[in-house]
Amino acid sequence: MKGKRKFWIIAVGLIVLLGYGIWEAYNQPSINDLPGDFEEVAFVRNEQNKGGIMRVYAVTVGDMANAKYDACADMFPTNDYGSMTKIYFFDKSKPYPTNLTIEPPHYDTNQYEAVMILKRTGSSEKP
């Protein structure tokens, strides 16, 4: 009888732990949870596996007065050793790019106007 009880205590504990892990994985904050009505509309990443990773994002902003740009930029991924993530913010009520290129200026600057540009880089030191 003691063996079955021990088994069920361990099984229930593992099930609770697994359930919490799944719940936590699906309930991470995103840019949609921030004030500003952010929406990612375009993304490009370099194909190079040597050297730094470069990511470029286009994000629209619906509520520019209350937008938390830095908090939004902090949610995008960065890697160590020379990687760079560049986020272009565009007014949702104006035209914005839906395709980006890895080469600067990354979009047609004659047709679209960014309201904010933020850059995040990875560290170059080992932890």
pLDDT reading at 127 higher than 50: no
Q: CA–CA separation, 84 vs 107, rounded Å?
A: 17
Number of C-alpha atoms within 13 angstroms, CB side, residue 7?
4
Q: CA–CA separation, 61 vs 63, rounded Å?
A: 6
Task: Place 8 in a pLDDT band, splitting at 50, 70 and 90.
Answer: very high
Convert the pLDDT of each residue in 60-112 to its tens digit.
999 989 999 999 999 998 887 778 999 999 999 999 999 999 999 999 999 99
Residue 124 confidence (pLDDT): 57
* pTM exceeding the 0.85 threshold for the entire prediction: no
Convert the pLDDT of each residue in 76-85 to its tens digit.
988 877 789 9
Determine contact, residues 57/86, Cβ cutoff 8 Å. Answer: yes
